[in-house]
Amino acid sequence: MSNSFVGARILITGGTGSFGEFAISRFLEDEPEQIVVYSRDEYKQFNLQRKYAGDKRLHFVLGDVRDEARLTDALVGVDVVIHAAAMKQVPACEMNPSEAILTNVLGAHNVVRSCLRSDVSSAINLSPDKATMPGGVYGATKLLSERVFSHGGISQASNLRAASIRYSNVLGTRGSVVEVFEQRLRDGFPLVVFDPRMIRLVLTQDQVVDLACYAFDTMLGGEVFIKDSPALRIVDLAQAMVDVFGSGEVIVKDQDVRAGEKYDAYLLSASEAENTLMTQDGYFVILPSLSNSQRDIYTTHYQQAKAVAVQDYGSSTARLLSKDDIVKMIGGIVQDRTSFD
């Protein structure tokens, strides 16, 4: 629960995506005045309208983050913004870099400018671990979106608090590896892993929403908040999925990773670690680039936090989940999806 949401008007860009759909159910528990679902997918909006039929706190707006005028209209009277809209598929970003820039960078720019015009009090940008030392278009554009929000969050020309949260792979969301593996097992196909060295950091949907709530309640503006995350080998995840389903086969192929992908995942780079604190609650906080006078304000605000003791933080240094750990983690996700079906 976040104190920022009680009695507030909340707008979620990309609100019909996996994060938005899950977050809506969580945020409604905080008794907001209204949740504005802003997205360009009319079919998903239709499905959400049916799901929440009769709940007058939900308001649906069709629009694109590339359209600054539409965003500004939608933000009239809004207090809190969560920017979840993005091009997220790595191959699509690699093949269409200009489109990724327009959505992920210009879109973030439009959100911040519209928030400033509309006197929004606080805004959070969602960003992936691929924004850390990016090796492809998706990560590079999302790193720039973080910088856009950080700049907006430290601007002395407004009262907007803007920051980012950076997190790892979310298990169980649409298009995630769990969903892909699950569908292949249901269809009777083997699970194919292209390189046994592939390791990823993971979180649950609840943990990502918790991270967003923590950022809203804690930020001064300009920070990037990161949740300590465990790691898993993709080959272990595949075998765990087979164990959960009770049937299936895992095939390992020695093949290069696809364009824009990396073997390891990182949430914090060595250069960022120099300007990062670890809070008592177990969150990394990357501070924005500040003048000495501004830095004193942040130092006082985070006086209970400590400088991080790592050079970087990623899948090679994170706690590695065993196959039994993974079975427990994904068992509930698969069970919930099965009972929903």
- Which residues are annotated as catalytic? 130
Quickly tell me which residue has 């002395």 as its tokens. 156
Quickly tell me which residue has 């892909």 as its tokens. 180
Q: CA nearest 247: which of 300, 195, 185? A: 185
CA gap 39, 33 in Å, rounded: 20
Name the region of 123 (left: φ>0; alpha: ψ -120 to 50; beta: rest): beta
- Answer yes or no: are the C-beta atoms of 63 and 70 closer than 8 Å: yes
CA gap 267, 227 in Å, rounded: 9
